[in-house]
Amino acid sequence: MENLPPSNRSTDAGLIARYGDYLPVPKSAQWISLNEGSTPLVRLHTLCDPGRGIEVFAKVEGANPTGSFKDRGMTVALTMAVHDGSEAVICASTGNTSAAAAAYAARAGIRAFVVIPDGKIALGKLAQAMMHGAKVIQITGDFDDGMEIVKSMPTEAPVALVNSVNPFRLHGQKTAAFEIIDTLGKAPDYHFLPVGNAGNISAYWMGYTEYYEARKVNTRPAMVGCQAAGAAPFVSGRPVSNPETLATAIRIGNPQSWELAQQAREASGGWFLASDDDAILSAQKFLAHREGIFCEPASAVSVAGLITALGDESLEDGTTIVCTLTGQGLKDPDTAIAQSPEPVRVAPTLTAVRDSILD
């Protein structure tokens, strides 16, 4: 038995500690972890339909350390980058990848370079990348432009690429499927999730399939990929130029994991669907108002898609459904405040506040 690195302690509750047997991380690697994962699976009471025997759960990925599922991929990607001797990482990002890369690079003591679209990134995500000390490079283009640039960067400069084209990212992210099965005691029948660059749908399918092949379950869910109408290449069947949506995390027209996501849809008997921005925002508000869960707009597209599917009878009765809520609502305060009523302003007196309550 080789000596384990000193930082890999029994108090570490991160993904590599819990699911290391399913991850391509050598025993000698020092884990770069923030105890990510173990996120809540919350029953969405208002969407369950006892009459039809339909149960709905949300996998609340905003509860990860930097507020999105990207942490699952980043713990494995950074662990392997450091293990391989990298001293810097780079990614293109709509925001959350940059926040996670910056935090995990800080944890590892190496540099992060993040390439983001100028002006089209939620405020909280930008604050995270800056605060964790990443070098933030804004390009006067969109995510797809940034992706093309960073893919070539490892041959130009000594940096490791940590976008989801890095296979370690998908290995980390597949653990969300493990957690769902470990919690439910079975696989769901349908899994709805937002699709942007399409790494996550590919990762979930990998996770469900690995547990299926390990005979932990004997079924796998139909994967339902949910896109924003203005950025829905999987619905139209071809890349989209100039993708547009308020859900900036999925404002992507040329997804990198195209083949893997198509395979996941086909092998699982799933489908892709799109919701317009109004439906996305109303699903976001519905979750916040009725379920007490504040997710970001891109996350709500999974619930917007589910609401459509519940209405058009594309789901069978007696089934269990999981929706992934990919990121925390606090990341995008501008979009939240813009769609909410303004606070009332009153004098600092008992009567004024009482009157506004009884109003």
Ligand X SMILES: *Cc1c(COP(=O)(O)O)cnc(C)c1O
Query: What are the residues binding ligand X (CB under 6 A)?
Result: 68, 70, 96, 164, 194-200, 249-250, 296, 298-299, 326-327
Q: Which of 72, 34, 56, 9 is nearest to 184 (CA)?
A: 56
Angle in degrees, 0-180, between the axes of helices 258-268 and 199-213, rounded to the nearest 10: 50
CB of 218 to ligand X, least distance (A): 27
Nearer to ligand X, 54 or 100 (CB): 100
Helix (H, G, I), strand (E, B) or coil at 136: strand
Written as six digits, the tokens of 120 are: 């089209």
> Residue 8 or 66: which CB sits closer to ligand X?
66
Of the pair 25, 323, the CB lying nearest ligand X is at 323
Smallest gap, in angstroms, from Cβ of residue 338 to ligand X? 18
User: Beta strand 190-194 with 222-228: parallel, antiparallel or unpaired?
Assistant: parallel
Q: Is the Cβ of residue 8 or residue 202 nearer to ligand X in the bound state?
A: 202
CB nearer ligand X, residue 196 or residue 233: 196
Instruction: From residue 197, give the alpha-carbon distance in Å to each of 59, 61, 64, 81, 273.
Output: 19, 17, 20, 21, 15
The least distance separating ligand X from the CB of residue 96, rounded to whole angstroms, comes to 3
Least distance CB 77 / ligand X (angstroms) = 13
Q: Which residues, 6 or more positions from 153, have their beta carbon under 8 angstroms from its beta carbon?
A: 90, 159, 161
Distance of CA 259 to the CA centre of its chain: 19
Q: Tokens 């924003």 sit at which residue?
A: 228
Do 114 and 137 contact (CB within 8 A), yes or no?
yes
Q: Nearest Cα to 125, choosing from 280, 306, 326, 289?
A: 326
Shortest CB 200 distance to ligand X, Å: 3
8 versus 256: smaller Cβ distance to ligand X: 256
Considering beta carbons, is residue 128 or 197 the nearer one to ligand X? Answer: 197
Smallest distance, ligand X to C-beta of residue 248, A: 9
84: exposed, middle or buried (Cβ count in 10 Å: 0-12, 13-18, 19+): exposed
Q: Are 169 and 142 in contact (CB under 8 A)?
A: no
Residue closer to ligand X (CB basis): 194 or 305: 194
Least separation in angstroms between residue 196's CB and ligand X is 3
Q: Distance between CA 40 and CA 123 in Å, rounded? A: 25
Find the shortest distance in angstroms from Cβ 355 to ligand X.
Answer: 40
| Alpha carbons 262 and 174: distance in angstroms, whole number | 17
